[in-house]
Structure 1
Amino acid sequence: MSNPSLKLPEPPAELAELSAQLCTTIVNAIEADGPMSFQRYMAMALYEPGFGYYVNGLHKFGAAGDFVTAPEHGRLFALALARQLEPLASRLGKNWTLMEPGPGSGSLARDVLSQLRNPPARYLLLETSAPLREVQRETLSALSEDLRSRVEWIAAPPDRGFDGAVIANEVIDALPVARFRVGETGIEQAVVTFVDGRLAWDYAPAEGRVLRAVEQVISDLPQPPGVGYTSEVCVDLPEWLDTVTAPLKRGMALMIDYGYPRREYYHPDRNDGTLVCHYRHRAHFDPFAWPGLTDLSAFVDFTAVAEAAQACGFEVAGFTSQAGFVLGSGVADQLEQVTDERDRMRLSGELKRLVLPGEMGDKFKVMALVREGDGALGGMPEAFALSDQVDRL
């Protein structure tokens, strides 16, 4: 049901059938309720029970999937995170807790646990997908029995609070977004229709939360965008952040994702937003192509993350590029200690993928949010000192 001019490889018949079943569910909803907001469409494409991209049990990560995250490139990224967490762990003592929402393949949990000198008493994996839990269990089977015993799977943030840390790596970009356009008479919201046997875009006057979110963004820009300007807003971000960090009484939340500060995100030249689709390591811009088999995501407005965090009682303690974070953590020193030439070359390639501008270095950002609770945790986290960019938010 996608743009016929888009050339993507055909999936196997059983996967094409899965996508067709999801399309039928979406079309039935449109026929019953009228045009569907793009935000609802994206939510169904990613999370519809049994069919959505993140819940249908198909392989997502690494070379055999649709995309590669920083932890899949090797262990240097996890080492950078572990070095950032060590001072916090020392202040909090042995009973600290680490929670990771959306833990993907489990590779980040495996590598962080194996490299922390003072591992958490509990490592909580916030995962609702049964197939992904099985992938994570397989990944974590490589850990020692002691480290595996610290891992718990949870379907929702715990009611009981804890001191420790939350790591959200490439989670916010998968929150459903609302698409908007500046029209001749006001802000318009993208909706999905079903015309001539295909899913298609249309627009309707924006209202409610979407209109308020867009108006807030526009009021913060140096100049309002012109007619035709199109982008997106994540209206669910504040509620998500509040929910996922609510148990953290004292500690740090690290938000890692691709994104920009607001004025760069909504720059006049970026006039078609940041929505992107990934299918078998191919990036494209048709969200109606193979729903359920295609990842949909949007870049993150980190100014919105900071605003939501401050409303939840956090201080924005650091913000930098992934390159600044990785180099600021000192993991490049690891190369100097490697004597085997093949290992040195492997680690050098891994470091380049993490920090070079043409790879992940500038596109990805890291934000540290600190909630002090009843005791001081110190100033700026060490890894942000090399290139802190909080003033860009």
Structure 2
Amino acid sequence: MPTVPADATATASPAPDALPALIARAIRAAGGWLPFERFMHLALYAPGLGYYARAARQFGQLPRSGSDFVTAPELSPLFARALAVQLADSLAATGTDEVWEFGAGSGALAAGLIEALDALGQPLARYTIVDVSGALRARQRQRLAAHGARVAWADALPPVLRGVVVGNEVLDAMPVTLLARRGGRWFERGVRIGESIEALAQDGQAPAAIKTEAISLTWEDRPTALRPPLEPAGTHDLVTEIHPQAQAFVATVAEALRRGGAGAAWFIDYGFPEAEYYHPQRSEGTLVCHRAHRVDDQPLADVGDKDISAHVNFTGVALAAQDAGLEVLGYTSQGRFLLNCGLAEALAAADLPTRANAMKLLDEHEMGELFKVIGLATPGHPPARGFAQGDRTHRL
């Protein structure tokens, strides 16, 4: 499981330079160079300062809401209703009555799933949320207050678990290791302090709190024995990612479910199978930042004020789960999965605004194709309706 702070509680109005200064101190403490994986962890999860630990709004449909991006549960309530159909099947198949959600965001998915499962006659005894952000926990508690004691929060997954695990856009937010191939040699890409700040430090002018405009971060590559699981063909220079934290997390979930003897896990995220992820034409990698519903590729700029994420290697997810004792139920696009779970019928009964938003869940140019769904379960789980048509497991 990835190393994250147990409770990244937001503080009131931290100094604007607090996170860059924290990262600068971490770089100095590490000898002047910080692996990108560690930088990304601090940028997103540093207690009270990181992007997901601050008291600011991340999720919403439009920039004027102050949000940076929209997730499927925020976009349409029909997402949760369709996903609940598959979760109800998995709860019945495993004889369990608890859902665990990782990275619950605003609580929109939790609210939708609890209500939809009640309507489907598969009420939950408990819905447990694991979220590293104290700020997000506060919003979740407010949104889910009506469900009372059925909703609980935990700092970590227990070593033994019976139930169904859900992760919507959680794997992409786990820190990645950056690799660069240059001149046929492999390097790990990390972060160091820019020369201007190094000069200030040498002159004794760079105290713990450095003015934001004075902090300069830059890339530095160091030779490494690390390699991507599938080396891109050719000899051209490129940048890519590997995902040790996400795969360790999936293995931890799988081991807990295996020990419990009955359960399933469903992950929805943007990503590719390994052959597509490490295709030679994807020479710039997949690392992206989101701010005010715009995308950029500059993670070292405006640290803490924007999301940083990388696409998911679903082959790595599947292998991590299988190695820990789970079976792969299927893998397909989000659009196909939702249609298999009855979204078309729900659309037919919905009003026009609801239909317009929900179509973005299916549209190939929106979330329908880029986002994928993978299902994992302990042995004995029946075939999953979410993969009844369009299963792509053979491409993992």
Q: TM-score when scaled to structure 2?
A: 0.85
Q: What code does the residue aligned with 1:352 have?
A: M
State the AA in 2 paired with 1:21: A
Letter in 2 for 1:133: R
| Counterpart position of 2:244 | 235
The AA in structure 2 aligned to 1:46 is: L
2:233 and 2:154 map into 1 onto residues whose CA distance is 43
Q: How does 1:85-234 map to 2 (within 5 A)?
A: 85-93=87-95, 95-116=96-117, 117-141=121-145, 143=146, 147-162=147-162, 164-184=163-183, 186-195=185-194, 196-197=196-197, 198-207=216-225, 211=226, 214-218=227-231, 224-234=233-243
Counterpart for residue 26 of structure 2: 29
Q: CA deviation at 1:312?
A: 1.2
| Residue matched to 1:3 | none
Bigger mean CA offset, 294-303 vs 182-191: 182-191
Q: For residues 161-201 of structure 1, what are the alpha-carbon distances to aligned partners after superposition, in whole Å with 9 as ceiling and x for unaligned?
A: 32x21001100001111111112252111011112341111
- Per-residue CA shift, 1:255-292, capped at 9, x if unaligned? 11000111111111111000000112121110012111
Distance 1:225 1:96, change over 3 A: farther
User: Aligned partners of 1:52 and 1:230: how far apart in 2?
Assistant: 25
Aligned length: 355
Q: How does 1:34-113 map to 2 (within 5 A)?
A: 34-62=32-60, 63=62, 64=65, 65-93=67-95, 95-113=96-114
Aligned partners of 2:184 and 2:237 also within 8 Å: no
Partner of 1:258: 270
Does the 8 Å CA contact 1:86/1:118 hold for their aligned counterparts? yes
SS for the counterpart of 1:217 is coil
Which residue pairs with 1:295 in the alignment? 307
| Paired position in structure 1 for 2:256 | 247
RMSD: 1.8
Q: Cα offset for 1:299?
A: 0.4
Residue of structure 2 in register with 1:388 after alignment: 391
2:153 alignment partner, SS class: strand
Unaligned runs of 5+ in 1: 1-13
| Contact in 2 for aligned 1:179/1:189 (Cα 8 Å) | yes
2:128/2:151 contact within 8 Å kept:
yes
Partner residue of 2:205?
none
Moved over 4 A (4+): none
Cα distance in 1 for partners of 2:256, 2:318 equals: 18
Cα distance, 1:335–1:47 mapped onto 2, change above 3 Å = closer
* Matching residue within 324, 327, 335 for 2:336: 324
Counterpart amino acid of residue 216 in structure 1: P
Residues 319 and 365, structure 1, Cα contact 8 Å, conserved in 2: yes
| SS of alignment partner, residue 17 of structure 2 | helix
CA distance in 1, matches of 2:372, 2:277: 13
Q: SS of the counterpart of 1:383?
A: helix
Q: How does 1:338-377 map to 2 (within 5 A)?
A: 338=349, 343-372=350-379, 376-377=380-381
Q: Percent identity?
A: 38
Unaligned runs of 5+ in 2: 1-11, 198-215
CA contact (8 A) 1:76 1:331 kept: yes
CA distance in 2, matches of 1:295, 1:56: 12
Does the CA-based 8 Å contact 1:317-1:369 persist in structure 2? yes
Residues in 2 aligned to 1:335 and 1:78: alpha-carbon distance in whole angstroms: 13
C-alpha deviation, 1:307, in angstroms: 0.9
SS of structure 1 residue aligned to 2:109: helix
| Residue 217 to residue 237, structure 1, CA distance change in 2 (3 Å) | farther
Distance in 1 between residues matched to 2:150 and 2:234, nearest whole Å: 50
CA contact (8 A) 2:264 2:376 kept: yes
Corresponding residue SS for 1:252: strand
